[in-house]
Chain A
């Protein structure tokens, strides 16, 4: 598989993480998102209509949504189906958190981009989404699990992890969010885990 990506993008990091966690080989094709803004140019938009990284290619298939690509990698590479849904209920819950990763959580990525690259963006909903994810983890802990959806890590955890792990870049303190800090630590202990720049040691 070919991953069109940027080394500093949290959405690209989640796909690199999935490959690493599954021990899969893939080809990295760097895109000059910054400072060249190549992701907004026609050549890249031919691959990704909204001009968003990452893009995953496998043969004739092109996937230009991070969550969809995450699901595809997990379904292709995980023979035990440990990372994807094993029941109808799990599928609904995983889908919910994939939607959070592709929706409200983008506010965190936007805050990080503004801090790093000076891009203007809104902070609306920034702490809401952090609180909601923290609440979820704490609730899961009460039920004996340390993961977002199940008693094992799934693609929902992989989808949400990068933006939360890069909170310092976004100027967000997790001091008040004990659940999130424990969850980050558990995630970073998974076999195959690899950090990226900006992910604080946990």
Chain B
């Protein structure tokens, strides 16, 4: 399996667990790209080792999470300056296992067109399914995929929403396995709430998804914020596990895209340009997975 680990994937910081989860679970064993690892917590912070070679892996604490990487010198982690804004509320939603490629999870997260069908009454409604044309750009300075000017009518866009609203979205793929959504805040005019997903590949077609929220919301209880997000993610999960192939196709022709899929097309092209193999159909002659 690990011979499919390309250098771009190896050099990424990957989420291990949120800070509270480390305190609660450590020491524990888990997987990172099919490699068994052990996560311990000591007075000087978390330590992570490969169980196959005994090698110590780099550890980073940022954005309320503990990160690690297979490469001893990973690329710098992406910047989210909103984490430094006083008054925002950070809610990690806890890991959820999904039996598909981490890249499929990111692609699904970027997809506006599925809202009315998978999240009816919450993120979309079957009477308003149109995806308004939006712009997709590769930001060369940070090497990220962005989709901007996305608009969609949503019956209940956020936990704090009291009525349906036309919501503006911006999507950002910050890493192959990390994406951030910026969405009109119902709690603060002119501001965006952030929802992110960080995905740790356990195997090529199994992963652990950590969703987080960073919002302007003083009204909602922690419980209702969490359950709002968990309900949405579990609606996606059953679709994701039934989507074939589980590996993400990067070559044209396997799946027919529509105009609403512009972000997905850009994401796949960006992965292909970086030579990403892990979690994709690349190098697999006949995909039956």
Residues on A lying within 8 angstroms of B by beta carbon are 6-8, 29-32, 34-38, 115-118, 168-169, 171, 196-198, 200
Contact = CB atoms under 8 A, between A and B. Distances in A.
B34 interface: no
A35 B234 contact: no
B231 A35 contact: no
A116 B93 contact: no
B97 A117 contact: yes
Given A30-B221, A198-B234, A7 B227 contact: yes
A6 B224 CA distance: 9
Interface of B: 18, 20-21, 24, 92-97, 99, 208, 221-224, 226-227, 230-235, 237-238, 241-242
Contact of B94 (A31, A117, A168, A197): A117
Contacts of B92: 35
B234 A36 contact: no
B231 A34 contact: no
What does DSSP make chain A's interface, helix, strand, loop or mixed? loop
In the complex, the 8 A-B pairs of residues with the closest C-beta atoms, listed nearest first: A35-B94, A197-B234, A30-B223, A7-B227, A197-B235, A7-B231, A30-B227, A32-B223
Contact of B222 (A36, A171, A196): A36
Nearest to A4: B223
A118 B238 contact: no
A118 B234 contact: no
25 contacts: A7-B230, A8-B227, A8-B230, A30-B224, A34-B94, A34-B226, A34-B230, A35-B20, A35-B226, A38-B223, A116-B96, A117-B95, A117-B97, A118-B95, A118-B97, A118-B208, A168-B238, A169-B237, A196-B231, A197-B232, A197-B234, A197-B238, A198-B235, A198-B237, A198-B238
